[in-house]
Amino acid sequence: MNDKKITIFAGVFIVFTIFSFCSGRFVKREELNYFSEKYAATYVLKKEIDIGNNKTMKAGTQVKLYFISDSSSVKVYAYLPALAREEAVGKNILLLFESDFPDEKYDREFLEKRLEEILSNM
């Protein structure tokens, strides 16, 4: 009976390890750092943005940004500049999946163009 438990545990461990190595970020940490530094200033929304649950962020709202990536997408969150990043509840203002990018590959210029469509400098 113990041998069976060990075999099951080993199988689960191997599957988990394989999935851990295969599931990297769509946008690498270095790129996220680049965007965090480049977009550290306060921006103004050019247009109204749907943030879910029948809520919007109005055009003209001043925001700060942060960027998150998982295995298949990149997300841009906005929060009010009066709040510290650690205390702010960011609202997703842009979500791009692999399939949204040309040739389904991450492209910095494409992401920057999408940001330019919705943001302007102060």
How much of the chain exceeds pLDDT 70, in percent? 81
Number of folded domains in the chain? Answer: 1
The label of the residue with tokens 């990297």 reads 24
Q: Please report, as a single letter, which amino acid is at residue 47.
A: K
Q: In this predicted model, what pLDDT tens digit does every residue of 58-104 receive, in sequence order?
A: 999 999 999 999 999 999 999 999 988 888 889 999 999 999 999 99
Range of the domain at 63: 25-121
- The CA-atom distances, in angstroms, between 8 and each of 13, 14, 17, 20, 21 are 9, 10, 14, 18, 20
State the Cα–Cα distance between residues 90 and 114, nearest whole angstrom: 18
Query: Is residue 9 included in any domain, yes or no?
Result: no
116 in a structural domain? yes
Give the pLDDT of residue 19: 45
> What is the longest distance spanned by two Cα atoms in the chain?
68
pTM: 0.77
Split at pLDDT 50, 70, 90, the class of 25 is confident
Is 1 inside any structural domain?
Answer: no
Residue 6: its pLDDT value, please?
58
